[in-house]
Structure 1
Amino acid sequence: MRTTSRARLLASALFVVPALWTSPASAQNTADATPQTTSPATADAAAAEEEADAIVVTGSRITSPAATAASPLQIVDSRQIANAGAVNIQDVLLQNPTFGTPSISRTNSSFATSSAGVATVDLRNLGVDRTLVLVNGRRFVSGIPGSNAVDLNVIPTQFLERVDVLTGGASALYGSDAVAGVVNFIYKKDFDGIQADAQTGITDRGDGFDYQANLLVGKNFADGRGNIMAFGGYSKQGAIYKRKHPTEAGPSDVDQTSLGGLTGNDADLFKPERPFLSGYSPRGRYYTDNFAFTYDPVTGALRPCTSTNGGPAPDDCGLPAGTQIGPDGFNRSAFRYLAVPVERYVAALRGNFEVSDALNLFVEGNYARTQVKTEIEPFPLDSSYITPEAGGQIPIESLVNGVLYRNPFVPDAIYADASDTDGDGLKDIFFDKRLSDFGPRTSTAKRDTFRIAGGANGKFWDDWSYEAYGIYGQTVEHQKGSGQFNSLNFQQALNAIRDVNDIDGDGDRTEIICADAAARAAGCVPANIYGPGSLTPAVGYLAAPQTLDTKVTETVAGANVSGGLFSLFGNRDKVSIALGGEYRRETSSSVFDPLSQAGLNGGNALPSTKGKFDLVEGFGEVIAPILEDRPFFHRLSLRGAVRVSHYSTVGGTFSYNYGGEWAPIEDVRFRVMQARSVRAPNVSELFAPPQQDFPSGLQDPCTGITAATTGTLADLCRAAPGVNANIAANGAFTVTQADRQGITSFAGGNPNLQEEKGDSFTAGVVINPRSLGGALRNLVLTVDYFDIKIRDAIVQTPLQFILDQCYSGANQALCQFITRRPAAQGANSAGSIDEVNSGPTNSGGVRTSGLDTTVNWRTDLWGGNFGLRASYTHLFKGYSVPLPGSDRDYFAGEIGAAKDRFTTTVSFDQEHGIGGTLTGTFIGASYLDDQLTGAKPGANKLYRVGAEFYLDGQIRFNVGERYQLYVGVNNLLDNKAPFLADIGASAGQDTDAGTYDALGRRYYAGARLRF
């Protein structure tokens, strides 16, 4: 028979609930860090037995029957996962208040240029790269090029026994990136049988149809000395459309479909007053130095509208006074996804064979293919994209062989009113136009992730154990995009003439051709930009398909040994140590198509990034029981760990932790831990060339400045010629919505970065009144204080910080990172911000502190099993310091980092009957980013977003011992997400879709079978 010495259980800091198909009525719970189904007293006695179970605790490398976790540790078990009805494990984890808003998810990545649909987690709001994700205690390859963030799409939910969430620094135990903590996914083991399940669901609005089917097969063999499990699963989550899901303070369903998003003024941010549509319409607007011309949306006739030189306008385009965009604007929301569609194929394998007590061979394999599609509205083209070196002027005349030709597409009214604004002897204009002829901007991405891990472990010298392992993983992505244009081809196509002199020699003197001979030879097709649908004949020549190919690899080899040395003061448990070493090599590359790299297709300039690094490291850990079974000292132990690493990039690093536990009685245990963690810079932070982004929500400090305004701010603003031109035209410096949306930013890597250092302190108490017996025996209460400080933090200096510091005069060196549009841009946009650039440095500091409280209880009730689980987190502090000596940038209390969050789950199950679960999730009142509002969170209620409470429910029907049917509803109360305008919302949305549930009520139903 298989010996119990080989059973390695990963202990929780709370209690372990049996697997889903364990009979609810017979389910046993154990206390903190005691996963056996026996009581702790029995476990202690069993420790003296030769065949005692070896316990590996998440948060320690030491194998010990009496192991506990000194750092706060929370568990998401298989029962909780199953009862959530989630397709992706990310959705389950985000209910836990220790997690902040993820940087990437289905609901906040529709505008992403890469990695759309990836599922990440972010502990303590400290960033995904400061959260280390493990599988069975070992590293997993990243799903994002240049980053260490793991894509949870590749984790097979039904393959999980549970997820251990260790909060607080853990670099000494697990290496770099564990500054905020560790999320350890624990696979099932010793599974024998077949388990199949299927589920489907849809939103209350009729979109987001999803379905999944999964099969898990396992078999014990060789008299229980071996086991093999295989899993295969398929899931598809359909697109969810912004137009069908209005926000809490947003428009009605009709408005959302026909009019798009809303906007409000600064005095009433969350009570929108009128529809806001984009001014970039398919009809286009054409600017001479006197007027802007457009095509009437009703008659189709060309007409002049707003003045461009400060003179009287003929009719102001028929718009109400004081508005910029009227009912003929473009509805962007009709195109946008609120949640991108994701299709997944997932396979997993786990096996082991015990040759002897000294040699157990194991293997793990993962493969996942994820397919994601994004779609947003057609491109809003501005002529400055085509001729940026000329300030956006488009010539409407051409000089060929000494002959002056007029562009035949230009309407007479525009041609007559245009003039030579740049002194080259040719008339020119500006224009903007929605490229509806090109269709929406789309991307389709296929990501393939493969990982294999294998090795050996065993026992020797009675209570010593070892493990040696190797891991290889890679993620490969291929992405294709459409809807963009080739700016070089566009420039040539706009230089069109009527070939009255037959300069191309084909005998046709009536045709319209491209003026440049080289362009004609390359297949140039003349482009007509005037009016809706006019570009269709030239789309084949103008369109610029996009591609992106990425590859991330990770190679790991490691070994460790642990065991007991001796006992102190006659204690039963020995002083235990663990020693080990690891080698790791990571590579990453992202290669965009040539036009994307140069920013010549209307999108962001996205140069390729390639880089690699490797490291070797060694670690040691010790746990020393000091006192046991004494008055007021049921158990007292001390512990510590160190890790020394050497990176090919940053050189040597050092991390450590030390702490202890004191249980004055069996039912109460106090714990404290101090840790130094490190995070080495990743490939993107080190090696990425300057990449382009289009930030939202930036506020121009010069807004409202007049010629008579005095002070440092006014003087610095008027130093830009474009600002003066804007003031002269408008009376005060004015910024339009189009100007705000047109701001770009470039940020690249920094090869001189060093590691960042995090110091975390945690102290708490675990109460499990097992000695009282009865129902209270299974009650576990934990309260933990945490304080994390990060020094030399790798930060991108915030763009709003750069603007504010520059124009306040506090740090004028930052002004070099700001570029404003020239005076020649025209009165509407002159002097507005064109670029605000940044980059990573070790100049930041981050701090967060707070209190975690958990309650777990399960008891027999009414012929079934009743369970209660609650997690609450309160933030005391949370801020970053962009530069030494600068003001704090607060995030505690802001959207995505509410000061108060809790999740409570109540469940009831009968072994052969009905069961149900209700889960309530509370997000406390939050505030807009203080960098955008200038007000510290809580200081100005104008920027306050009310609290949200979400309720999810599931009803289960247990049919015999093998079958289960279930139905569920998420967001049972159909809460709508708060409206956040252009300030505080996810890119392209009206709310922070990564924090709030913007999808509304959703239904699902499924079935499970095991035999």
Structure 2
Amino acid sequence: MKTQSRILALLAGVGVAALSSAAFAQTAPATQDPVPAEDASDVGDVVVTGSRVIRNGDASPSPVTVVSTEEALRVQPGTLADALAILPVFAGNRGSGSNPTSTGSVGAGNAGANSLNLRNVGANRTLVLLDGLRVPPTLLNGVVDVDVIPQALVQRVDTVTGGVSAVYGSDAISGVVNYVIDKNFNGLRATVSTGLSGQGDAAKQNLSIAGGTRLLDGRAHVEGSYEYRDDEGIPYRSDRDFMDLWGVAGAGTTANPYVLYSDVRQATFPFGGLITSGLFNGQTFATDGVLRPIVHGATTGSAALEVGGDGGYYDSSLLGSLEAQQIFGRFDFDITDHIHAYAQVSGNLKTNVNASDYVRLTNVTMNSSNPFLAQTYRTQLATANQPTFRLSELLRAPRLEAVSESEQWIYMGGLNGDFGDGYKWSLDLVHGTTDMDTTLNNNVNNQRLAAALDAVQNGSTISCSITVTNPSLANGCVPLNVFGPTAASAEALAWVLQSTHYSAQTVMDSASAHVDGSPFSTWAGPVAVAVSAEWRKLSFSSVSDALPSAVVDCTGIRYNCTAGGALWANTYASSPEVSQTVQEAAIEFDAPLVVDAPFIQSFNLNGAARFTSYDTSGDYWTWKIGADWRINDAFRLRATRSRDIRAPTLYELFAPTNSVPVTTQDLLTGASPTVPSTDLSNPNLTAEIGDTSTAGFIWKPMDGLSIALDGYHITISDAVTQINGATAAYQRACYDSGGTSEFCALQVRPNGYTSTAASNAVTRWYTKYMNIAEVETYGADLEVNYAATLFDRPAAFRFLAAYQPHVTYAQPGVVTTDQGGVAFGPLGAAAGPDLRLTALLRFQPVENLTVDLMHRWRDVMKLGGDPSQVWAGNRLDAFSTTNINLSWKADTAVGSTEVFLNVSNLFDNEAPGGAYALNGTRAGLRDGYAMGDDVLGRYFTLGVRFRL
């Protein structure tokens, strides 16, 4: 706490005077880049994000960073989420290359969704707003896929890096990201761009068009936009040389520490199949139909993994593909001089595709007279009186592929105005729907697999045994040849691997109202007060055709079928509609207390309080207090203290039971079996409680130069955490207790929690949401802006830094883990470098040519943050990239045209390889690099912008 107190005492809040050309500035909207008169909004009276009463960003006690959409996309083309990610305050954002699982809670139904994560404490603790109104959740876990917000008419994005639940309600623990629409756009503009990596893949095409005009003698305004995006992604990790099958082996102990290896293979799962019993034990079908002894690679600390050799490996998507259409329309109308009405619709129709697992056969029983087996081998097996043998294989069949189709719509409408005496009011209605349909292609039908593996000779043809003995039980069965890397026929694979479907709908309806004004004054000036209220209802429902309750029918199947076993390798449960209703009321004030006194040019106190009532998780009070002390024109101090909440989502409370197969090391027996991992919800969850402090200064020592430094400290108690029983810390807590720990309920095994015999290997893992964690983090943010001339031409420099040394997770019964400065963690935990830097330089060497440079750097990270783990080399190297953008702008009589060329990762730096300790037994499936590092390599984007 002493270190944290020093940071808070010494460092600063926010607020930086923007440069006239600044793309990133901690300042008010009024100081953004100049725009043509027909586009300028009434920015002088815009309420600053983070408050309903402060109308000047230079007076906000909360850190607010304003990002100009046009300028952000200039240095980082792509989605607006990609552009925002260059701000160091973000760490752990998810997107197409985030190493998520294709199914289950981490992917939340869409493994390629773009979500924002302030401070790396979880995307579900970052509130996303559209013009100050809550954006309906779009993913199963309650997180917003920010692609739902059409970016063609987004004027700017405000980021508040501090708790503001008292102003906006639940989820605003780490901060708020507010997308602000340009509501007064007139004219027509369009952008066309195409991109390609230096390796000739990952092609991208983008087209956007936006238009707006005034109607009815200026009393009405209409605008709209359409955007089409097509990103091919990178379908295989092997498409990049540096993704060299990274994996972690070992047990994390002094005797057997964790070690990071490259070229990791599955020791007993070659692509062609390995016989694991009887006469040909230890021989593999390295070529179709031909046996030879398996060539083992170098041993590691995990029996399941080797380096090199004949072992197979996974090769999942490196970057998922995306095809999307974004649609936006808005109509504004001045009913009277004091009453304004608006209606708005925004939509996002997108498809993400990610591929992951190959089919894994684990010691399946094969008939020794299987006709796919060469006659010489069948004869030898018969002579040895061996009717069956066992085989393990990584089947190089089509990968498990998740195709997530999202249709997301947000409808907004309302009235706002003033009473003519300084009081303003608004009434807003929001209706949001997300229909997400996930098709899981190549899901293994276990019943069909068992039938197809048992092939027999049927006259002159090879058939499934069941179609000979019980033809009505498996019509269409196609026998599967697994004796070789390419032996399986496409027809047999198509019969075994089927498409299953999961459809979920999330609906949010809300009504909110607020009134603000100045009812009285102090000796220092008028006091601004706002009162607000909101009603909100959120509902969720889902339907699946791959239910966990569906079981195999083993009638007529001789081998590899266990009555009551799961029909599908990957399951989703259906969920009847569940809902929660929220009622809230809030008050906020901003009071000037001192003005024009010695060392106090002005001193304002800002406060807010909110009462929130959830019908599912109880009643809560949140509050915020902040101070803005302007010593003089050059120096200011700011500070805030807040109590915030995050209510559990419907998914955490009522999610249906889902299972996926996982291969994780069982630390009790040393085995690495492939067993189901089942997600459990918890209807007894309560809200998380966040306590946040910020403090800092803003210094403008000279014209054109401004420096802002702020410190923060966040503590989240009763944090909702998805406890994964397979995590090493929870396994050890269970075994150390002799079976009495509550974490023992998160695993199933035959003979208790003390026997280390192979026969006692785990048979199922569970993950469950629980209110048992305390999350704590602190750090500091720095921003420097400098406007100058270079060779008598305009230039601007910006430097942003985020220092976040610790993100600790404390839970009863297990060691406290620290994800600060750590690259990997359980359940897809995001990478959080403790030091993140971004530097931007803009220079205009001639009138129409602008050069933008950006350099990003992150610090060295650890591979794992569990202090009970012993590593041999717990390090992931630092990483940096440089972008350059050249743009040429020419004005004509009808408008302007700008041609631009952007080169991202100019020096083609390769991301350093790494992996999560407990993912190591599935080499090549995921990981390989730290989330947030660039894996595209050098990338070229060429485009044209038109403005009429």
Tell me the TM-score range normalised by the shorter chain.
0.7 to 0.9
Q: Any residues of structure 2 matched to 1:848-867 within 5 Å, and which? A: 848-859=777-788, 862=791, 864-867=793-796
Residue type of the alignment partner of 1:972: L
- What is the match of residue 448 of structure 1? 407
Q: Is the 8 A contact 2:403 2:440 kept in 1?
A: yes
Tell me the alpha carbon deviations over residues 453-481 of structure 1, each in whole angstroms, 9 at most, x when there is no partner: 01011111421100101011111122223
What is the aligned counterpart of 2:937 among 986, 990, 1000? 1000
Is residue 2:584 matched to residue 1:617?
A: yes
**TM-fit CA distance, 1:247:** 5.9
Is residue 2:632 matched to residue 1:665?
A: yes
- What is the match of residue 734 of structure 2? 806
**TM-fit CA distance, 1:348:** 1.1
Q: C-alpha distance in 2, partners of 1:990/1:841? A: 26
What is the aligned counterpart of 1:99 among 63, 85, 90? 90
Q: C-alpha distance in 1, partners of 2:355/2:803? A: 38
**TM-fit CA distance, 1:894:** 1.0
Q: Any residues of structure 2 matched to 1:928-943 within 5 Å, and which? A: 928-931=863-866, 934=869, 942-943=873-874
Gapped runs of 5+ residues in structure 2? Answer: 1-13, 35-41, 552-565, 824-830
**TM-fit CA distance, 1:815:** 2.8
Most deviating of 857-866 and 57-66: 857-866
Is residue 2:37 matched to residue 1:83?
A: no
- What is the match of residue 574 of structure 2? 608
Distance 1:367 1:536, change over 3 A: closer
What is the aligned counterpart of 2:133 among 120, 133, 138? 138
SS of 2:87's partner is coil
- What is the match of residue 655 of structure 1? 622
Residue type of the alignment partner of 1:777: D
**TM-fit CA distance, 1:17:** 6.7
Gapped runs of 5+ residues in structure 1? Answer: 1-11, 19-23, 40-50, 252-259, 306-316, 384-391, 398-405, 420-426, 501-507, 703-722, 724-733, 770-775
Residue type of the alignment partner of 2:819: F
Q: C-alpha distance in 1, partners of 2:382/2:125? A: 58
Q: Is the 8 A contact 2:889 2:897 kept in 1?
A: yes
- What is the match of residue 718 of structure 2? 792
TM-score normalised by the chain length of structure 1: 0.80
**TM-fit CA distance, 1:124:** 0.8
- What is the match of residue 443 of structure 2? 484
Q: Is the 8 A contact 2:436 2:504 kept in 1?
A: yes
Q: Is the 8 A contact 1:789 1:847 kept in 2?
A: yes
Is residue 2:63 matched to residue 1:126?
A: no
Tell me the alpha carbon deviations over residues 136-175 of structure 1, each in whole angstroms, 9 at most, x when there is no partner: 1111122212x22111222223322111110111111001
Tell me the alpha carbon deviations over residues 864-922 of structure 1, each in whole angstroms, 9 at most, x when there is no partner: 43222221111243201123x64311111212111111111111237841101111111
Q: C-alpha distance in 2, partners of 1:744/1:760? A: 39
**TM-fit CA distance, 1:660:** 1.3
Is residue 2:822 matched to residue 1:894?
A: yes
What is the aligned counterpart of 1:213 among 201, 204, 207? 207
Distance 1:302 1:870, change over 3 A: same
- What is the match of residue 272 of structure 2? 283
Distance 1:968 1:512, change over 3 A: closer
Distance 1:592 1:864, change over 3 A: farther
Quick one: percent identity of the two aligned structures? Answer: 23
Q: C-alpha distance in 2, partners of 1:336/1:28? A: 36
Is residue 2:647 matched to residue 1:680?
A: yes
Distance 1:452 1:909, change over 3 A: farther
Tell me the alpha carbon deviations over residues 88-110 of structure 1, each in whole angstroms, 9 at most, x when there is no partner: 11111111111111244444347
Is residue 2:780 matched to residue 1:780?
A: no
- What is the match of residue 382 of structure 1? 362
- Higher gyration radius (CA): 1
Q: Is the 8 A contact 2:76 2:82 kept in 1?
A: no
Q: Is the 8 A contact 1:548 1:593 kept in 2?
A: yes
Residue type of the alignment partner of 2:501: T
What is the aligned counterpart of 2:698 among 766, 770, 777? 766
**TM-fit CA distance, 1:353:** 1.9
Q: Is the 8 A contact 2:297 2:306 kept in 1?
A: no
- What is the match of residue 687 of structure 2? 755
Is residue 2:396 matched to residue 1:433?
A: no
Most deviating of 606-615 and 641-650: 606-615
SS of 2:143's partner is coil
What is the aligned counterpart of 2:281 among 292, 295, 299? 292
User: Which of 1 and 2 has higher RCO (CA within 8 Å, sep 6+)?
Assistant: 2
Is residue 2:800 matched to residue 1:871?
A: yes
Q: Any residues of structure 2 matched to 1:119-268 within 5 Å, and which? A: 119-145=114-140, 147-243=141-237, 245-246=239-240, 251=244
- What is the match of residue 600 of structure 2? 633
Q: Any residues of structure 2 matched to 1:8-157 within 5 Å, and which? A: 13-15=15-17, 32-33=27-28, 35=30, 53-62=44-53, 64=55, 68-109=59-100, 111-112=102-103, 114-145=109-140, 147-157=141-151
Is residue 2:849 matched to residue 1:923?
A: no
Distance 1:31 1:126, change over 3 A: closer
**TM-fit CA distance, 1:493:** 4.4
Tell me the alpha carbon deviations over residues 430-467 of structure 1, each in whole angstroms, 9 at most, x when there is no partner: 3323344x533323222111111010111114211001
Corresponding residue pairs, total: 876
Distance 1:158 1:857, change over 3 A: farther
- What is the match of residue 402 of structure 1? none
Residue type of the alignment partner of 1:343: E
SS of 1:82's partner is helix
Is residue 2:769 matched to residue 1:840?
A: yes
Q: C-alpha distance in 2, partners of 1:462/1:95? A: 43
SS of 2:873's partner is helix
Is residue 2:516 matched to residue 1:545?
A: no
Residue type of the alignment partner of 1:123: L
Residue type of the alignment partner of 2:613: H
Q: Is the 8 A contact 1:465 1:563 kept in 2?
A: yes
Distance 1:917 1:474, change over 3 A: same
- What is the match of residue 42 of structure 1? none
Q: C-alpha distance in 1, partners of 2:469/2:918? A: 50
SS of 1:153's partner is helix
Tell me the alpha carbon deviations over residues 647-697 of structure 1, each in whole angstroms, 9 at most, x when there is no partner: 11012121111121111212222111110101110011101133224567x
Q: C-alpha distance in 1, partners of 2:521/2:795? A: 42
Q: C-alpha distance in 2, partners of 1:635/1:366? A: 42
Distance 1:816 1:553, change over 3 A: closer
Distance 1:413 1:535, change over 3 A: farther
What is the aligned counterpart of 1:907 among 837, 842, 846? 842
Q: C-alpha distance in 2, partners of 1:268/1:804? A: 15
Q: Is the 8 A contact 1:493 1:524 kept in 2?
A: no
TM-score normalised by the chain length of structure 2: 0.85
Distance 1:619 1:93, change over 3 A: same
Distance 1:66 1:786, change over 3 A: closer
**TM-fit CA distance, 1:417:** 5.4
**TM-fit CA distance, 1:497:** 5.9
Q: C-alpha distance in 2, partners of 1:791/1:319? A: 49
Tell me the alpha carbon deviations over residues 688-722 of structure 1, each in whole angstroms, 9 at most, x when there is no partner: 133224567x55444xxxxxxxxxxxxxxxxxxxx
Q: C-alpha distance in 2, partners of 1:351/1:743? A: 54
- What is the match of residue 301 of structure 1? 290
The RMSD of aligned alpha carbons is 3.5
**TM-fit CA distance, 1:123:** 0.7
Q: Any residues of structure 2 matched to 1:469-548 within 5 Å, and which? A: 469-494=428-453, 513-514=465-466, 520-523=472-475, 525=477, 527-532=479-484, 533-534=487-488, 538-548=492-502
Tell me the alpha carbon deviations over residues 343-385 of structure 1, each in whole angstroms, 9 at most, x when there is no partner: 11111123322233320112221011111222345312225xx
Q: C-alpha distance in 2, partners of 1:458/1:541? A: 63
- What is the match of residue 957 of structure 1? 888
Distance 1:655 1:921, change over 3 A: same
Is residue 2:512 matched to residue 1:558?
A: yes
Distance 1:530 1:967, change over 3 A: closer
Q: Is the 8 A contact 2:345 2:412 kept in 1?
A: yes
**TM-fit CA distance, 1:37:** 8.0
Q: Is the 8 A contact 1:478 1:547 kept in 2?
A: yes
Distance 1:102 1:635, change over 3 A: same
